[in-house]
Structure 1
């Protein structure tokens, strides 16, 4: 395995660093306080060609891979945005870009992908339901056939970025469970307009990730056109997994970038802070060891995520690596951010020093987009060959 970046990859990282530093910590603090979508940041990312890095050149992307995308997200997160940067890439290049580029029709690729890559269109994905949660196969949102299209009814919850989105990837049943050959049979993906008769959404007030709204979404007999089908009618389960596992990669990239940022902020503060004499507090092992431990864990999660992304790019199995990397990154980022706050004492609790935002944001990813308990279930079952426990 070659750990050296090539010239193109170094250029992408440098471009991401420049974009990220142009906005910086104060930009994110202000947008967090206003609960405002970081529109200017995302447009700058797209104008620099970073949003479409892993999407096909034929539609305006760079034709690179998930590895390059992981480097970009990591760098942007580490310059100020923190873990929520991963969500921006999740909803747009992944939910919108990957689903369409891998499973969409040629017409949809030509019409929608360039607008996602340019930042003209933002996306969201409506998957989670109040009575299903992680158990996707129990979802009840149903699209009944009507003429050459469908009518969609149901409810989704904790859907990210709806208020700023023009397109929504919706996962629904198109066969009743009683008529299906298996629980995985009868799931279908659609890409529909957010502004559509019968589709409504209400915001959920929440602790963190405030620059991206979370909403409950209601479908009341929403018309779905035939050309809005993504992938295989009734056969969308395996296709959905491809979208979800790439979601893990950008989530992890945002977390390791955020963890690196938390460490940097704590080290800078500790180097400047002097108490009980002329020695900076960074000279004490009680400050050093927790941050050093966190650094080691962040590095390990980053490397495993790079393997997942590389496997994806080489058409090798990558689900195990993607899930394990997300588990480690979420735990490491959460722990090291809290340790960074502790190193800064009371100032770690102050909004002007930014760590409290990173702490609030990263806590989400201990249970989203997949909980650590479900990742452990996956590892035990798929990687260790142990019996399914649920």
Structure 2
């Protein structure tokens, strides 16, 4: 198993040999079905690399300890999954993409996407994925733009699970228009004084750190819209920061919040990179986040189809299993085709990101496809259960509630279509 000191790619090969699965259809060229939707976390995708399979199998062992009933309880009680987070920290997975030098595993987004899909697919859904989501891509700006002192100070505690971070970007009055952020940071000697607010800041109820983007140069004084924003990774000082939880549709186990801060003194030593370069810095992690969100959506889609397929075989009405009826069978089969197609796009986007491809069309397209197809799969799973699909004990209603989130965050499907229309199709800007 991976240690908190990280694992090399050679170690993933060794681990792979130790935990080779016994699922059918492993041999390429076989006529067996490679991915039976009713199996729990099957691990025989023929397109996965050895490293991806290794991650899949190792993560499956962890998440198998946390069944759907665990997540139902956390969702019902609005309780953060501390023990789940602790297990991932203990086994070194919180630093899967971070440098080995600081305790990470230094694997790619391709492996991280497998991890996030597997978490979600286990029944943990977006609650489980979101409890560790920030660790995967969040401190990429620190890795790329931080000083050596900052990396040594900031990265190991996060990887070890000693620190828990949240992300403060979106504001009530700006929404997705990040360049119009209004929260201010004014330099005062060795500190900055921050005033403003953020919204939809996940895990702020339990976090002790925050990566926050604020304006250090007023809008009227900048020459380009992308200038004037600065990024800080600092202590979440609750004597100066008011955190108010937002009651929401799904993912109740992981909190979303409105935060308000006034005269919050933050050390200049906690500023990442140059003053005014914050927007450029956070953009380095945006494509990675889209890929990870897409993988998490995929997991929900597969989890829903698994439950629907099993229910369709077991539920007998009018003397026959309901899965024998094409009215049940065909919508589920169609959803599997769509979700599997989205999966291929997601892992193409992940591979391109790991190879240094900087343009965002594949990451955006993957997020769009995965979110839309996963939502449809979850909806069809509820409908396939009939009245019991509305009951919490069958879990598919929780999947459906959570499947709404990837459709609207971290970017709406309309903005994705704008991006593709302008950057790929060459059409004029529509807004």
Q: CA shift at 1:180, angstroms? A: 0.5
Does the aligned pair in 2 maintain the 1:21–1:80 contact within 8 Å? Answer: no
Deviations 1:45-99 (A, max 9, x none): 222222211111111111111100001111111111113333234322222x323
Structure 2 match to 1:100: 142
The answer to whether residue 129 in structure 2 is matched with residue 82 in structure 1 is: no
**Where does residue 55 of structure 1 map in the other structure?**
98
Greater per-residue helix proportion: 1
Tell me the secondary structure at the aligned position of residue 265 of structure 2.
strand
Cα deviation, residue 108, structure 1: 2.1
Q: Say whether residues 1:296 and 2:362 are aligned partners.
A: no
Where do 1:127-146 residues align within 5 Å? 127-146=169-188
Deviation at 1:384, TM superposition (A): 1.2
Instruction: Give secondary structure in 2 for the equivalent of 1:165.
Output: coil
- Counterpart in 2 of 1:199? 241
Distance of aligned partners of 1:246 and 1:208 in 2 relative to their CA distance in 1, 3 Å threshold: same
CA contact (8 A) 1:86 1:252 kept: no
Per-residue deviation, residues 117-163 of structure 1 (Å, max 9, x unmatched): 12221111111111100111111001111113311111111111101
Aligned position for 2:156: 114
Per-residue Cα deviation, 1:306-334 (whole angstroms, up to 9, x for no partner): 11211121111252111111111111111
Is residue 2:257 matched to residue 1:215?
yes
Give the 3-state SS of the residue equivalent to 1:82 in structure 2. helix
The answer as to whether partners of 2:81 and 2:131 remain within 8 angstroms in 1 is no
Q: Structure 1 residue 102: deviation in Å?
A: 2.1
CA distance in 2, matches of 1:264, 1:3: 19
Aligned to 2:41: none
Does the residue aligned with 1:201 lie in a helix, a strand or coil?
A: strand
Deviations 1:269-295 (A, max 9, x none): 110011112x21111111111111111
8 Å Cα contact 1:287-1:343 kept in structure 2: yes
Distance in 2 between residues matched to 1:213 and 1:236, nearest whole Å: 25
Larger CA deviation: 319-328 vs 260-269: 319-328
Contact 1:341 1:355 in 2 (8 A): yes
Q: 2:220 & 2:306 partners in 1: Cα distance?
A: 55
Equivalent of 1:266, from 295, 308, 312?
Answer: 308
Cα distance in 2 for residues equivalent to 1:35 and 1:157: 19
Distance 1:59-1:255 versus aligned 2 partners, 3 A rule:
same
Q: Which residue of 1 aligns with 2:87?
A: 44
CA contact (8 A) 1:324 1:375 kept: yes
CA distance in 1, matches of 2:225, 2:77: 43
- Structure 1 unaligned blocks of 5 or more: none
Q: Secondary structure at the match of 1:212?
A: coil
Could you tell me whether the CA contact under 8 Å between 1:311 and 1:318 is conserved in 2?
A: no
Please report how far the alpha carbon of residue 3 of structure 1 lies from its aligned counterpart in structure 2 after TM superposition.
Answer: 5.8
Q: Does 2:238 align with 1:186?
A: no
- Which blocks of at least 5 consecutive residues in structure 2 are unaligned? 1-44
User: Hey, which bits of structure 1, 4+ residues long, moved more than 3 A?
Assistant: 2-8
**Secondary structure of 2:94's match?**
coil
Is residue 2:365 matched to residue 1:365?
no
Give the TM-score normalised by structure 1: 0.96
1:341 aligns with 2:392: no
Of 289, 292, 295 in structure 2, the residue corresponding to residue 250 of structure 1 is 292
The two structures, once aligned, show a CA RMSD in angstroms of 1.5
- Could you tell me whether the CA contact under 8 Å between 1:37 and 1:212 is conserved in 2? yes
Distance 1:163 1:196 in 2: 10
* Partner secondary structure for residue 200 of structure 2: strand
1:306 has 2:368 as partner: no
Aligned length: 387
Partner of 2:196: 154
Shift, 1:36, TM fit: 0.7
Which whole-Å CA distance do the structure 2 matches of 1:136 and 1:46 have between them?
A: 32
Deviation at 1:42, TM superposition (A): 1.3
Residue deviations 1:185-214, cap 9 Å, x none? 111111111135421111111111101111
Please give the TM-score of this superposition, normalised by the length of structure 2.
0.87
For residues 188-241 of structure 1, the C-alpha deviation after alignment (integer angstroms, 9 at most, x for no partner) is 111111135421111111111101111111110111111111133101222111
SS, match of residue 159 in structure 1:
coil
1:225 pairs with 237, 262, 267, which one? 267
Distance 2:49 2:172 in 1: 45
- Pairs within 5 Å for 1:315-330: 315-330=356-371
The answer to whether the 8 Å contact 1:350/1:356 transfers is yes
Separation in 1 of the partners of 2:359 and 2:391? 40
